[in-house]
Amino acid sequence: MSNKTFTMIKPEAVAEGNSGAIIKLIEEAGFRIVAMKKTLLSAARAGQFYAVHKERPFYESLCKYMSSGPIIAIILEKGNAVADFRKLIGATDPSKAEDGTIRKLFAKSIEQNAVHGSDSDDNAALEGSFFFSQTEMY
Ligand code: CMP
């Protein structure tokens, strides 16, 4: 079990001014920010990030959405980080997310679901290194 995970605050949550509230919930849940940046993904780069989904019917729309405005990429640290963070954000589909979870509070739809959270330690490491070099992780 690793102690790091990776998240993105997605375009609609950034555009609506919810990034501060989301980061506050993340820190209050005991996660430490290791690295953070606001950036704009091209559709091609969003496609690389979500390459695992490229056969899915929602892939093209997802790439378009994820490049529609800036996102905030964050590496987080905490014991049991991957599982605890997925609990904090709730189900992918916000209509199925538990009360109090970040997606229940801020997501608009299954696509515009406010935040991403890595699903495994290996993917957390891969996704973190997609945005940050080792010297940017503190
Ligand atoms: P995320 O956890 O970042 O991982 C893949 C993303 O694809 C997901 O959040 C949603 O933004 C999107 N997604 C997953 N399932 C669907 C779906 N059924 N329809 C549209 N978008 C989806």
C-beta of residue 109 within 8 angstroms of C-beta of residue 92: no
Q: What is the pLDDT of residue 2?
A: 78
Question: Is 116 tagged catalytic?
Answer: yes
* Residue 130 in contact with ligand 1 by CB distance below 6 A: no
Tell me the per-residue pLDDT of 18-28, one tens digit each, with 9 for 90 and over.
999 999 999 99
Tell me the per-residue pLDDT of 106-130, one tens digit each, with 9 for 90 and over.
999 999 999 999 999 999 999 999 9
Q: What is the pLDDT of residue 1?
A: 59
User: Which protein residue's CA is at the shortest distance from atom 1 of ligand 1?
Assistant: 116
Arithmetic mean of pLDDT over the chain: 97
* Residue 110 in contact with ligand 1 by CB distance below 6 A: yes
Of ligand 1's listed atoms, the one at least distance from the Cα of 65 is 11
> pTM for the whole thing?
0.97
Phi, psi of 72 (to 5 degrees): -120, 120
Annotated catalytic residue, options 4, 10, 103, 116 = 116
Tell me the per-residue pLDDT of 28-68, one tens digit each, with 9 for 90 and over.
999 999 999 999 999 999 999 999 999 999 999 999 999 99
Ordered by where they begin, the domains of the chain are 4-136 (3.30.70.141)
CA atoms of 53 and 137, how far apart (whole Å): 27
